[in-house]
Amino acid sequence: MKSTSAVRQEPLEWFLLLWFAALFTFSLLYVFRVYDNNTLASWQWVFVPLGIQRVLLILSGTLFFSLLICRFLPFETIPVPALIVFSTAAVLPLWSEPELLLDSGRYFLQAKALSQYGLLYFIREWGREITIWTDMPLVPFLYGLIFTFVGELRIAVQLWNTLLFVLTVVLTCRLGTVLWNRKTGFYAGFLLLGMPYLLTQVPLMLVDVQTMFFVVLAVYCFVEALRYGGLLRMVVASLTLVLASMAKYSTWPMLAILPVCGYIYLRTTPAAAKYVQRMSAIIVPSAIAVVVLLAYTSPVFTEQLHTLFTYQRPALKLWHEGFASTFFFQIHPFIFLLALYGGFRAWRTGCSRFFFPLLFVFLVVLLRIERIRYMVPLFPFLALMAAYGLGGVKDLLVKRSIAAVIVSSSLVVLFAGYLPFFKTTSMVNIQRAGQFLNHLAVDTVAVYALPQGKSEGSTIIAIPQLDLFTSRKIVSRQHWAAGKSEGISPLSSMLATWQLKKPAFYQADTRPAPLVVLSGSPVDDSVYVRTCNSSSPVRVKHFTRRSGVFRYTTFVSIYY
Candidate from 189-203, 307-321, 445-459 with smallest mean pLDDT: 307-321
Helix (H) or strand (E) holding 476: strand 473-476
Alpha carbons 506 and 474: distance in angstroms, whole number = 6
pLDDT of residue 7: 37
Helix (H), strand (E), coil (C) string for 370-419: CCHHHHHHHHHHHHHHHHHHHCCCCCHHHHHHHHHHHHHHHHHHHHHHHH
Q: Residue 508: pLDDT band by 50, 70, 90 thresholds?
A: confident
288, 290, 293, 299 alpha-carbon torsion, rounded to 10°: -110
**Can you tell me the mean pLDDT for 57-69?**
94
Beta strands 444-449 and 515-519: pairing type?
parallel
**Can you tell me the mean pLDDT for 143-155?**
98
Q: How many CB atoms lie within 10 A of CB 453?
A: 12
The answer to the question of residue 1 being in a domain is no
The answer to the question of residue 413 being in a domain is no
Say if residue 513 is in the same domain as residue 367.
no
Q: Residue 488: pLDDT band by 50, 70, 90 thresholds?
A: confident
Say if residue 124 is in the same domain as residue 211.
yes
Contact (CB, 8 A) for 225 and 439: no
Residue at a domain's end among 340, 370, 392: 392
pLDDT of residue 3: 43
Return the bridge partners of 448, or none. 517
Say if residue 381 is in the same domain as residue 433.
no
Say if residue 149 is in the same domain as residue 252.
yes
Give the domain extent around 487: 427-559
E strands present in 85-149? none
Q: Residue 274: pLDDT band by 50, 70, 90 thresholds?
A: confident
Alpha carbons 375 and 251: distance in angstroms, whole number = 10
Percent of the chain with pLDDT over 90: 80
Predicted TM-score (pTM) of this structure: 0.95
Residue at a domain's end among 348, 375, 392: 392
The answer to the question of residue 405 being in a domain is no
DSSP state of 240: H
Q: How many CB atoms lie within 10 A of CB 68?
A: 13
Residue at a domain's end among 377, 392, 407: 392
The answer to the question of residue 539 being in a domain is yes
pLDDT of residue 489: 83
The answer to the question of residue 48 being in a domain is no
417-458 per-position pLDDT tens digit: 999 999 999 999 999 999 999 999 999 999 999 999 889 999
**Cβ neighbours of residue 300 under 8 Å, at least 6 residues apart?**
126, 127, 128, 132
Which among 205, 198, 206 has a CA at the least distance from the CA of 166? 198
Say if residue 470 is in the same domain as residue 544.
yes
Domain count, the chain: 2
Q: State CA 175 to chain mean position distance.
A: 21
The secondary structure of 527-553 as a DSSP string is: HHHHHT--SSPPPEEEE----SS-S--
The answer to the question of residue 335 being in a domain is yes
Say if residue 233 is in the same domain as residue 362.
yes
Say if residue 305 is in the same domain as residue 451.
no
Alpha carbons 260 and 481: distance in angstroms, whole number = 47
Say if residue 345 is in the same domain as residue 433.
no
**Cβ neighbours of residue 462 under 8 Å, at least 6 residues apart?**
102, 105, 430, 449, 518, 554
Backbone dihedral angles phi then psi of residue 515, each to the nearest 5 degrees: -105, 130
Say if residue 520 is in the same domain as residue 374.
no
3-37 per-position pLDDT tens digit: 444 334 456 788 889 999 999 999 999 999 999 99
Q: Tell me how far CA of residue 277 lies from CA of 222, 250, 272, 517, in angstroms.
A: 13, 27, 10, 61
The answer to the question of residue 398 being in a domain is no
Return the bridge partners of 492, or none. none
Q: How many CB atoms lie within 10 A of CB 209?
A: 23
Say if residue 347 is in the same domain as residue 439.
no
Q: Residue 534: pLDDT band by 50, 70, 90 thresholds?
A: low
Contact (CB, 8 A) for 516 and 557: yes
Name the average pLDDT for the chain: 93
Radius of gyration of the chain measured on its C-alpha atoms: 25
pLDDT of residue 538: 87
pLDDT of residue 511: 82
Say if residue 325 is in the same domain as residue 280.
yes
Say if residue 372 is in the same domain as residue 464.
no
The answer to the question of residue 44 being in a domain is no
